[in-house]
Amino acid sequence: MSEVTLTWKNKHLQLRASGSDGYAWVGDEGSKLRKPVGLQLLGADALSRASSVLAVGDGLDVLESLGFKSDTLVDKIRLVYIDPPFNTSADVRCYDDAMDRTMWLSMLRDRLVALKPYLSEEASVWVHLDDAEVHRARVVMDEVFGEKAFVASVIWQKRTTRESRSAFSNNHDTILVYAPSGPRKWKTSRNLLVKDTAVLENRDNDPRGPWADAPFTAPGYRSAQQYPITTPSGRVLRPPRGRSWYATEETYLNLLGEDRIWFPKNGSGSPRLKLFSHQIRGLVPFTIWGTSETGTNDDAKRHLMSMFPDKPVFDTPKPEQLLERIIHIATRPGELVVDLFGGSGTTAAVAHKMRRRWILAERNVDTVLEYTLPRMLAVVEGSDPDGISEAASWKGGGDFALAFVPPRLGKAVTKPKLSRLGEAYARVQARMSQARAS
């Protein structure tokens, strides 16, 4: 575990959801809270090990209630992605972004601790934040998972516009990536990025088809790989200082005879290795993700505006392209993805389109009614053509259950709102049944 820990007021207490949007510290009486909570399925009799679940309730309560149902979490969690409130005191409509810092720290810690027993050996946990709390969050994650579980800090470029009123125009978020098994072991199970075949070209009319190229050098000094190479233009080259050729001279000559070596600059450049599509293994992910690959907040807002043209824009959506990359790296089809701060439902939508099983918790009932539930209906019906639908060849299918998990403290959601949830899901079920029938 971590040798350096963070101290804050009431750290020894647990932070539980109280009422519709509050929190309360819990001390010794917390033992009674470990009993099963009354999860209410809206429109379904039971959950199975194959169920995807949209759960209305606090993430900690949802996780504990599902954990007590042995069939629901029998397949352990492969990926956790959480995008909690950044605690920036920003004026947002859908959630409280100005928590007391001590509460925010306990909120994060308690939910990570609750997730830990349900993680698979190949699991990874991705926590999405900005500069306001990310440095403290990393210390908390070190404490929960151990310093050796840290994998990377991914920098995501969230916008391309410039904010001229600030000292610096902040255009990135940070996503902390942890793997309880450690980065070396997790690396053997994570997926590489697929190299875009559009970059393959046939620059020399090779009858084998288009190809990409890679440097024919390797770092370090190896005496057997320091031979001279003569280019077609007659230049004699040796490896750059501190590097060696990629292979021995014998191997190089074999590759040259197979027309697997290319010399750029009209035959006078340094040798490059030709790679055909079946030889491209994939790319190790960088830690900086640009907008051209993973989209922006504005892309996500435009997507939601196209789905909900008559509703206010959800405050802080994430683009489907960003979640597609995370889910691709961290999971395989059929595996379980969990998000305890569901918001507009991007994680669930992308996981569903990528044929993963998912559990998403969202505490705000209005958010579920206005955004998350109708969005997931559109995904199942195949009526959401944007986001990653085209890239994933998504035409619709599957289903999901809706559950309500009341807070353990304070007053629960009012009966009229609960009735609205049930009625909305009944309409969703009917349309899902029609989609399956057609």
Domain with residue 417: its CATH number is: 3.40.50.150
Residue 35 has pLDDT above 60, yes or no: yes
Of 122, 116, 127, 135, the residue nearest 183 (C-alpha): 122
pTM comes to 0.82
Q: Answer with the one of 218, 244, 279 that is the final residue of a domain.
A: 279
Give the number of other Cβ atoms within 10 Å of residue 250's Cβ.
10
123, 78 contact by CB (below 8 A):
yes
Proportion of the chain above pLDDT 90, given as a percent: 60
Q: What is the DSSP string of 280-347?
A: ---BPPPSEE-HHHH--HHHHHHHHHHH-TTSPPPSS---HHHHHHHHHHH--TT-EEEESS-TT-HH
The answer to whether position 8 is within a domain reads: no
Of 398, 392, 404, the residue nearest 362 (C-alpha): 404
Note whether 155 and 297 are same-domain residues: yes
Residue range of the domain that includes 115: 36-164+177-187+286-437
Note whether 129 and 74 are same-domain residues: yes
Residue 28 has pLDDT above 80, yes or no: no
- What is d(CA 397, CA 386) in angstroms, rounded to the nearest whole number? 16
Note whether 103 and 246 are same-domain residues: no
Mean pLDDT of the chain: 88
Q: Answer with the one of 231, 254, 279 that is the final residue of a domain.
A: 279
Note whether 128 and 215 are same-domain residues: no
51, 72 contact by CB (below 8 A):
yes
And the tokens for 101? 């810092």
Counting the structural domains of the chain, the total is 2
Q: Tens of pLDDT along 385-436?
A: 999 998 888 989 888 999 999 888 888 777 888 888 888 888 888 888 887 7
H or E stretch including 402?
Answer: strand 401-404
Note whether 384 and 404 are same-domain residues: yes
- What is d(CA 156, CA 383) in angstroms, rounded to the nearest whole number? 29
Tell me what the mean pLDDT of segment 20-44 comes to: 74
Question: Mean pLDDT lowest for which of 62-71, 84-93, 310-319, 419-428?
Answer: 84-93
More confident residue, 34 or 239: 239
Q: Tens of pLDDT along 277-324?
A: 777 778 899 999 999 999 999 999 999 999 999 888 877 789 999 999
Residues in the chain: 438
Tell me what the mean pLDDT of segment 15-38 comes to: 76
pLDDT, residue 351, reads 96
Of 5, 44, 12, 42, the residue nearest 26 (C-alpha): 12
Q: What is the DSSP string of 362-378?
A: E--HHHIIIIIHHHHHH
Q: Answer with the one of 245, 279, 313 that is the final residue of a domain.
A: 279
